[in-house]
A and B are shown apart, each in its own frame.
Chain A
Amino acid sequence: SQTIHQWPATLVQPVGSPLSLECTVEGTSNPNLYWYRQAAGRGLQLLFYSVGIGQISSEVPQNLSASRPQDRQFILSSKKLLLSDSGFYLCACPSPGRTYEQYFGPGTRLTVT
């Protein structure tokens, strides 16, 4: 079975500062990867997904960006954080052999002050 690691677990950043969140996956190769954001009271919002190295699709226009430099690495970035970027960020990939099912990482709690 696969394992998703997210780093860091928690982060407090001032408005206007840059952001880099990392997601790495073990136990599977060439997975589809997803970034979700969970804001208070708003459920899960799909931000980006990637079907392979260098391939990124954006679901919601915003000041965030994503990159996939390696097969099992997915990075979420921002050049200048906004207060509205606060939330819980989750990385996900399909469960092995079941592309219709999402498996989630432990998440990163981001607080923008």
Chain B
Amino acid sequence: AQSVTQLGSHVSVSEGALVLLRCNYSSSVPPYLFWYVQYPNQGLQLLLKYTSAATLVKGINGFEAEFKKSETSFHLTKPSAHMSDAAEYFCAVSPHPNTGNQFYFGTGTSLTVIP
């Protein structure tokens, strides 16, 4: 079985500060891991993904995440927060191969950027 836990439903950072959003997963098979971003009243947009290649994954808008198998983590980071980063962020896991219905999302982390 797969599951995702996002620690911290709300995170606030100052503009220019480091962003760290935490995600831990549970998977009985090698997982594919994702981070999605959602701006108000919009659908989810893929930010980055880990698909068993490089453990450090770079995404759009300067975000990156590192897959750590020993810690079962896939934390999202950005060195310097920008006001436009304020949004809801979702971590997700999918087993591989995926028979079509196995996508598991965390409960989301709302990021606030303080000017």
Contact = CB atoms under 8 A, between A and B. Distances in A.
Interface stretch (A42-50, A60-68, A78-86): A42-50
Contacts of B43: 4, 90, 104-107
A101 B97 CA distance: 11
Contacts of B45: 104
Contact of A43 (B34, B42, B103, B106): B106
Interface of A: 4, 32, 34, 41-44, 46, 49, 51, 57, 59, 88, 90, 92, 94-95, 99-107, 109
**Interface residue SS majority, chain A:** strand
Contacts of A106: 42-43
Given A42-B107, A100-B97, A102-B94, 13 more contacts: A34-B103, A41-B107, A43-B106, A44-B44, A51-B100, A57-B101, A90-B44, A99-B97, A100-B32, A100-B98, A104-B36, A105-B43, A107-B42
